Amino acid sequence: LAKTTQPISMDSYEGQEVNITCSHNNIATNDYITWYQQFPSQGPRFIIQGYKTKVTNEVASLFIPADRKSSTLSLPRVSLSDTAVYYCLVGDDSGGGADGLTFGKGTHLIIQP
Amino acid sequence: KAGVTQTPRYLIKTRGQQVTLSCSPISGHRSVSWYQQTPGQGLQFLFEYFSETQRNKGNFPGRFSGRQFSNSRSEMNVSTLELGDSALYLCASSLTGNEQFFGPGTRLTVL
């Protein structure tokens, strides 16, 4: 599985747009990029997944450049409840789940009033 | 549709004991994976079961084992507990590989 690098922590304020970038230089052709959110003492929650260009859902957008060596999770108009750890994962989307999901250290996002 | 459930939510054991944790996946999900989360090591993959067979295994000692039943429910067992086994144990179920649905976890404390 491709290794990912993301900032250890970020701070922002309520109402702002937050962009968290993840580097994955060794991404393979059949790899997808997936982001999870985790609150303290809870399991991670799937946010969004993409392969290339841009993906948007009701909670976030995911921007992936043409070379796919990085990706940016965009959270529009954050609130205090968005304070959490955000994990970027890269792997294929086969049904096998080979080696499980490889979670790095994640980005601890802190939203202030 | 009900989410992934794990029991018990909290557990306190002493060194040398064994423990069994239980996970009920989302209905229809046949893949169940287990993870260990600690402040120092983060989230680490233990193993994955699919249709009652262990399909993948992480880098953990043989004291960690699991099984899956015909209804896809899974159990994880840790024998001869060590202090370092204190962690949040998470179970996740999925239909495909990457989008996994996690349960609330079992907080295990080893004294």
Of B95, B97, B104, the CB nearest to A42: B104
Alpha-carbon distances, residue A98 vs A12, A94, A105, B16, B48 (angstroms) = 36, 8, 20, 31, 8
Q: With a cut of 70, say whether residue A8 has pLDDT above it.
A: yes
Give the separation between CA B57 and CA B36, rounded to whole angstroms. 13
Give the separation between CA B16 and CA A49, rounded to whole angstroms. 42
What are the chain A neighbours of B100 within 8 Å (beta carbons)?
Answer: 44, 46, 97, 101
Give the separation between CA A97 and CA B34, rounded to whole angstroms. 12
Hey, which residues does B7 pair with through a beta bridge? B22
The confidence score (pLDDT) of residue A97 equals 47
| Residues A58-93: tens digit of each pLDDT | 999 999 999 999 999 999 999 999 999 999 988 876
A93–B98 C-beta distance less than 8 A: yes
| CB-CB contact of A6 with A22 (8 Å) | yes
Hey, which residues does B36 pair with through a beta bridge? B44, B89
| Residues B91-111: tens digit of each pLDDT | 999 886 557 899 999 999 999
- For residue A28, what are its two tokens? 């393979």
Three-state secondary structure call for residue B15? coil
Q: With a cut of 60, say whether residue A13 has pLDDT above it.
A: yes
> What is the DSSP secondary-structure string of B62-78?
TTEEEEE-TTS-EEEEE
Q: What is the mean pLDDT of chain A?
A: 89
Tell me how far apart the 2 most distant CA atoms of chain A are, in Å.
Answer: 42
pLDDT tier at A99, thresholds 50, 70, 90? low
Mean pLDDT of B25-49: 91
A45–B102 C-beta distance less than 8 A: yes
| Residues B58-97: tens digit of each pLDDT | 899 999 999 999 999 999 999 999 999 999 999 999 886 5
The confidence score (pLDDT) of residue B42 equals 85
Give the separation between CA B86 and CA B98, rounded to whole angstroms. 27
Minimum CA–CA partner of B92 in chain A = A43
Give the separation between CA A7 and CA B59, rounded to whole angstroms. 26
What are the chain A neighbours of B43 within 8 Å (beta carbons)?
Answer: 44, 87, 101, 103
